[in-house]
């Protein structure tokens, strides 16, 4: 369908892409799982799955229950649909399909699913399962359009902020029920409890701002569940799309335009 972009995933990076494409005039339907696990929930359109709608900066997303409803909503807003297996493609073929799940592997995206198919991050091969890839590794190539090689393998090491890297990001120490001790936007002191999993406490390693915290509930061992930012005076960052997401989004838009996906066709 003309000017329709389907985006797999609606976490914070995917939401940066969704925002950019929506602002550029494309119609957007994003697909999510039944229980999304984004931690930067204040800038993730996936939150519409839980609350019915989600506003990021000045763009609103609405949860839809059918493809027909999603198509109608996408005329003016971002549509969010639970569809893990791309069943929507049985009814419509979009101009562009963007896989922004960031699973580090391909979860079923194929090059013939849309006129233009883009893979974000590692796990995709240009000209085989996607037309192009977008680099997600920090550095000078962040957001670069890759036409012949794969994106770099994710190291799992977060970028440093004020000399804090791995200390910023927290993963669940075991599988169980997580209860958060702090909300996004709150300050946590060194040694304060960030969250518990089955009563096992995890504490902050430094004073910082809670930039991301997963929803309370069952989590699997090793799942990323919290993000602490040492810049305690930059609370607004909790509610804004990140520089990384905007950079990657620019690469996606560049790729679409280079491959002929113009909105005025």
What SS3 class is residue 200? strand
Q: What is the pLDDT of residue 155?
A: 65
Cα Dmax for the chain: 57
From the list 180, 200, 205, 202, the residue with the least C-alpha distance to 190 is 205
Give the pTM.
Answer: 0.94
- Cα three-residue angle 174-223-54, rounded to 5 degrees: 130
Quote the CA–CA distance of 213 and 56 in Å, as a whole number: 17
pLDDT average per 10 residues of sequence, the chain (265 residues): 92 98 97 96 98 97 98 97 96 95 95 96 95 94 93 74 81 97 93 95 94 96 94 91 96 94 56
Q: What is the pLDDT of residue 32?
A: 98
């Amino acid at each position: 369908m003309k000017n329709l972009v389907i985006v797999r995933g609606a976490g914070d990076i995917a939401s940066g892409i969704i925002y950019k494409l929506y602002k550029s005039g494309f119609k957007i339907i994003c697909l999510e799982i039944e229980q999304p696990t984004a931690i930067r929930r204040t800038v993730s359109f996936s939150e519409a799955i839980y609350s019915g709608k989600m506003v990021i900066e000045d763009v609103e997303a609405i949860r839809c229950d059918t493809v027909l409803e999603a198509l109608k909503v996408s005329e003016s807003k971002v549509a969010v649909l639970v569809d893990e297996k791309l069943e929507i493609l049985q009814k419509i073929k979009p101009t562009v399909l963007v896989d922004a799940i960031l699973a580090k592997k391909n979860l079923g995206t194929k090059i013939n699913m849309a006129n233009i198919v883009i893979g974000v991050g590692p796990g995709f091969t240009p000209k085989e399962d996607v037309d192009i890839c977008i680099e997600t590794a920090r550095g000078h190539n962040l957001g670069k359009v890759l036409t012949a090689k794969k994106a770099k393998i994710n190291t799992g090491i977060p970028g440093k902020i004020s000399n804090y890297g791995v200390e910023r990001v927290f993963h669940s120490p075991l599988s169980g029920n997580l209860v958060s001790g702090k909300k996004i936007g709150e300050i946590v002191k060194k040694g304060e409890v960030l969250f518990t999993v089955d009563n096992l406490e995890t504490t902050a390693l430094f004073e910082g701002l809670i930039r991301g915290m997963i929803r309370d509930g069952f989590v699997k061992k090793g799942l990323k569940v919290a993000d602490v930012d040492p810049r305690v005076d930059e609370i607004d960052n909790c509610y804004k799309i990140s520089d990384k997401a905007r950079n990657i989004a620019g690469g996606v838009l560049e790729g679409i335009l280079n491959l002929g996906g113009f909105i005025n066709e």
